[in-house]
Structures are given as structure tokens and as C-alpha cells.
Chains A and B, each alone.
Chain A
Amino acid sequence: MIKTIFCLLALFGSVLLAGEISREHAQAVLDEIYGEIGKRHFDVDFAEKYRKHYLKHQPAILNAPNDGELATALNRMLEDFGDSHLMVQPPLSAAAQEATRQLEVKDGSSAIRPNPPLTGSGIDVLETGEGILIWRVEADSAAAKAGLKSGMAIQHILGYEITPTEGTEWFPIVRQLADMTAPDGLVYMNVSDGAEVTPVQFEAGPVKKQMVHFPGGPSLRGGYYSELRDDGIGYICFDWFTQEMIQLVRRDIRGKLKDAEGLIIDLRGNGGGLFHSIDWLASWTVPQKVTFGSLKITQIPLKLSSTPQPRGFKKKLAVIIDKNTFSSAEIFAAGIQDAGAGKIYGTTSGGQCLPSIFLTLPSGFRLQTIMGEETRSSGERIEKNGVTPDVKIEATAAGLAVGIDGPVEKAAADLLAAAEK
């Protein structure tokens, strides 16, 4: 997941790194990256088994004309490895970072630039079988003023045509583009309400989403939303597993959601985050101890478990996932399912679930690399398999347009029925 997110971030960095490099430099960076991944990879025979990818990509890597292209060539090799959570970014000096913020990038078809923090379009998106849909529109946001509504399908945004394409993960791309503008400061979209396609343009405005920070890694936009629904069910949805998000969960569990009849944690589109947050989320939302499978780091077996908190939530829990639920969010859902601590709704999760860390290497290249292997209590791997929901259900454009989010309503109905029993 982080990998896809870096795609757009890397766009900005690479153009600043056009200085020519030597083949010796490229070889040194290749060996550095390959060595660092091998040091922590869960497969003890990594160096031997993955060598074919090294040799296949070596010529293109050595021919990279600059550090930006070198990172691109290295990432092509990492894609062939077939494991999630592997990503290279070129060196980025402080000066370059500053320049990046102000840069307008031409990718051949469109020019885009990121919005400053706390400004954007104000939409959240969801991927379903019907495409990329507008999930929520922040009240009083630029998107709301421009007439964007839940359930609309985004067909075109800032020069990108959103069509089903093999191997393209449109969801994270659209989510990022929704917080960018064209060089003229406007957001351009074509949206469909099922009947007709409407071109929309508007200026980005204030939004509630904050920047969330990952230790040693990137800063990304992330939102948190919670409510006590009219039917008495508590609802929590957040984008990333971070300390800040879990603190907000804790606040709500002890505050406005403390008397809820049941609790829904909606992890659709949740990209994961800090491993350490998984146990604390369960500690506040599940009254029983939950063990989140087994984590193996440098071949050392470890187990992460929750510590039920005295003021934690005591009633039934439901978790919603989808194909864009990744990593820590998948571990949480799998742990809840395996412990019988709640029912899982939605569609099968993304299956990108390997523990990883962010490193800054001596060459200046930045590497996200796997540091171990995660298996669930049943012994199955989440990586490549995902988490299969107990109840398969997906939101529809028509439903969202009239305020009905299928998985949420189904989960709420089941929680209420359980509460009545």
C-alpha cells in the first residue's frame, strides 16, 4: 500500500535528481538495496532465491541516467520479488524537499501539484465493483460546495482517466489526486451519477484531514471519523494505524460511544501503519484478550496481544474491510476473526501484510523493506491471501447516493439484533 502511495510522491522527487550518475554508483546502490533487503527478509535463502531478479534487472539498473531513474529501475526489480512492503525512493535533500513542495510536475498527460496541509477537496473515496466512488463529502468543503455527492463515480481526475486497468491500483492514486490540484489551483474531475457524466472544477479549500507521521517514514494525509448513530450503534472509521488515531478511539470509547449498543470499526481503505497500534485498538474495543497471530522477525517468533482496558468497550464489535484494507488493518481484522471477538463484513482485504521498516541508507536512498513474516493464529498467511469476511457485502453507488452504506447498515442491524438478545 505504502508502495503505491510513494508512486506519486516519487514523481516529485525524481525530477529533481536529473544529475548524471555512473554505472559504479548504480551498482553500489543496487548491492546496498539488495543487501539490506536480504538482511531482514523472512526467507533465509533470499540471496540465492531472488538472485534471478537481480540479474534480470541489473542491466537496466546500471543504465539508469540519474538517481530518479535508478529508483524507478530498482522498484521494477522489487515488484518482481512479489512481496509487499518493498519500495525505494531516491535521496531527497532538504532543499529538494522544499523545491518539491513548489514544483509543478508534467507527467506527459497532466500537471499536478500537492495541496498544502489542511487543504484539499474534502472527499473520501471507496473502491467497489462499480469503480472509484465518492464515499463521503466533508461538510462545507470545496467538494461539497461544488456539488459532489456520495455515490458519484469518479471517471476522470486531473488528467487521469479512471478506467479498469490490469495491475493499476487506482484507489490510492485517486485518493492522493483528490488532495492535489492543477497548476492553476483548480481540481478537475468528471463524475457520474449513473445517468450522466458531469465535468466539475473547483478550488481546493480547508479540510479536516491531518498529516500523520510514520517513524522514520513518510507523512501522509489521514482522517478519523466517528459518530453515535441514531440507532445507538457506535461507528469509527480511520485511514491509518497511528498513535494519534488510537488515541482518538480511546477518547470516543470513554466518551461519546461509551453507551453504544455495539461498535463498528470501518477499515475500508485503511492502509495499515504502526504495528504497535493494533494491540491498543483491540485493548480499547474488545473486552477479551486477543492475540494477533505470530510475527517472525529475523527468525525470532513473537506474539502481539491486547490488554483489555478497564474502561474499554464491552459490547459486540463488527469490523468492515475491503480490497484496500492493508497491513496492520488486516492483522487487526484477522485477529478479531480468529479470536471470535467480532464479525468481519465487506470484501476480501488486499493481502499486503508483511511487517516493514523505513531505512535511510548510507547512499541517501530511502528503503521500505520487509523485516519479517506475519501469520495468523490459524497458521495461514495474510500476505497474498487477504482476510476473507464472514459476511460478504459491498457498498453500491445507488445506496451511497441515498445515504445507505450497505456493509455499515448490515453490521449495525446484526449488532442491534445481538444486543436485543
Chain B
Amino acid sequence: MMRLLNLLLLSAVCAWGFGCSSSIETEPQSELNVLLKKIEQAVDPDGVGRNIRTMRFSATSELVEQKIKIQTVITYRFPNEIKEQVRIGEFMEVTNIYDGKNGTEITKGMGVRALSEAEMNSKKFEVMSSNPQLPFDDIFDEIILAPEKAMINGKPCYHLTGKPLKSLGLSPVQMYFDAETYRMARQDFIAPTAMGNVPMSTDTYDYRKIDGLYVSLKATSKFLGTTMNTVIEKVELNPSLGPDEFQVPDEDD
């Protein structure tokens, strides 16, 4: 379970938003394109996203029923690199590094594992979907707007189905955006892990403006019968990163 947990946790904590740069102005003003524009503006009303090159989130999560605390730090250097560090209670410390070509998981004191192709594609998607410079149509091959709004946590939401770039081989993502604020309320997706594909649902809320960007600071994720609450404690935009930030460290002793 703990193995799965750390694999899924990363997906859960990463699921707070999508890119916000707009490249759809030249497209016909369909209902979908108007909606996407509003969604992008809801995240980045001042257009600060285009200047973001690196990003770091620090979060604390709790497995509700098990009362286990989890610390997570996720660092991005766009367009390709991501490092995810997870400490589960006193029991386990796992780091995943993906540099755009290779992916490695290091479990402290235990060993090193190369990420599978599916896991690396998932990392690639995580970096893309967190990149404030990328528009929706650089992340998805196709986005479909459901004709009816869905009720999520008592609020009407637009329901979009995003089909990730075919080259990534990932399952479609179900996204629900609040019809009033245009901010993401829920995301359902299949997380590829070393043990197989796991369905996951993450509700995002408590959006705050940080350095011009609206970021969800709280999330509740459900997977494999488990509920996890996450609080984003620190958001750093354009933090200074060393050249070896995404290098795989030597095996520790």
C-alpha cells in the first residue's frame, strides 16, 4: 500500500491546475473556445504565466482514515523537468526525477528504480499540465465539452473531457470547472503507476492569488478506497534552481 501511496500521491498533489497561456484567439469563437479562454483567464488574469520558468510547491497531506501525514515538495523546470520528493510519516522517503528523457525513483535506504515508459509519459503530462505557458491545445489532442453541466460539491460545473496527446498514451482526463469562477473543481483521471493503472479523483478548492497566479491551495483526493486531504503550504514561482537539481543522486549509504 505504501508503495502505491507514494506513486499516487504525486499524481494527486499535481492535479491542481492547467496551463493558462492562450493560443486559441484565432480559433472560431465556439462555446468551447470561449470557455477555455475564461478558464485560462481565471487562473492567470494578468498574464504572468508567460514569465514563469521554474516553480516549486510544498504540501502536507493526510490520509484521513489512517491519520498518516505526508510531506511533498514538487519542483518544475519547464518545459521538461520535474522532481517530486515525498516523505510518508517516519516510514519512507521517495524522490522521483524526470528530466525529459529519463525517469528515476529513489527510495531512501532501499534502492533505485527506473520509471516505466507509462510513468514517464505521466510525468511529462504532469509537467505540461502544470506549465503556465502552455495552452490547452498543446496539452490535449482534443477537448470535448459535455452538453450538460455537472454538479460538483453542490456547484454547477462545466464538464470537459481532455484527450492527452496521443504520443503519451494516457487515458482521457475528466475535468470539471466551476461555472461561476471558471476554476477547476474536480479532475478524474487514470494514474499510471509501477503496479498498474489506478483511477483517481481530486477535488481542488481554496484558490488564492499568488504572485498574480490563482492556485488551488487545498485538495481532496480519492483513490483505492482511501481519502487524502492536501494543503499547499508554499508556492514559489521562478525559484532559483541549481544545475544539478534534476540529476539523479548517487545511491546513498
- Chain A interfacial positions (CB closer than 8 Å to B): 36, 39-40, 213, 215-216, 243, 246-247, 250, 274-276, 279-280, 283-284, 295, 297-298, 300-305, 307, 309, 311, 355, 357-361, 371
Question: When the two chains form the complex, which single residue of B109, B112, B224 contacts A297, counting CB atoms closer than 8 Å?
Answer: B224
Bound CA span A299–B65, Å: 20
With a cutoff of 8 Å between Cβ atoms, the chain B residues found around residue A276 in the complex are: 1-3, 92
For chain B, the count of residues having a C-beta within 8 Å of the partner chain is 32
Q: Are A307 and B66 in contact (CB under 8 A)?
A: no
Residue B63 at the chain A interface, CB threshold 8 Å: yes
Question: When the two chains form the complex, which single residue of B66, B112, B197, B198 contacts A216, counting CB atoms closer than 8 Å?
Answer: B66
Binds A, one of B31-39, B83-91, B132-140, B171-179: B83-91
With a cutoff of 8 Å between Cβ atoms, the chain A residues found around residue B63 in the complex are: 216
Question: When the two chains form the complex, which single residue of A39, A247, A250 contacts B225, counting CB atoms closer than 8 Å?
Answer: A39
Bound CA span A309–B90, Å: 24
A114 to chain B, nearest CB (A): 22
A302 to chain B, nearest CB (A): 4
Residue B113 at the chain A interface, CB threshold 8 Å: yes
- How many A-B contacts are there with CB distance less than 8 Å? 89
From 48 to 103 in chain B, residues with beta carbon under 8 angstroms from any chain A beta carbon are: 63, 65-68, 88-92
Chain A at the B interface: SS class: mixed
Q: Are A302 and B110 in contact (CB under 8 A)?
A: no
With a cutoff of 8 Å between Cβ atoms, the chain B residues found around residue A295 in the complex are: 195
List the 10 closest A-B pairs by CB distance, nearest first: A216-B66, A276-B3, A302-B195, A276-B2, A307-B113, A359-B65, A302-B196, A247-B109, A298-B225, A297-B224
List 11 other contacts, CB 8 Å, given A276-B1, A302-B195, A355-B1. A39-B225, A215-B66, A243-B109, A274-B91, A275-B1, A276-B92, A280-B107, A295-B195, A297-B224, A298-B225, A371-B1
With a cutoff of 8 Å between Cβ atoms, the chain A residues found around residue B110 in the complex are: 243, 246-247, 250, 280, 283
Q: Are A304 and B195 in contact (CB under 8 A)?
A: yes
Question: When the two chains form the complex, which single residue of A284, A297, A355, A358 contacts B66, counting CB atoms closer than 8 Å?
Answer: A358
Question: When the two chains form the complex, which single residue of B3, B66, B107 contacts A359, counting CB atoms closer than 8 Å?
Answer: B66
Residue B111 at the chain A interface, CB threshold 8 Å: yes
Among A243, A301, A303, A355, residue most surrounded by chain B Cβ atoms (within 10 Å)? A243
Q: Are B194 and A357 in contact (CB under 8 A)?
A: no
B185 to chain A, nearest CB (A): 23
Q: Are A360 and B92 in contact (CB under 8 A)?
A: no
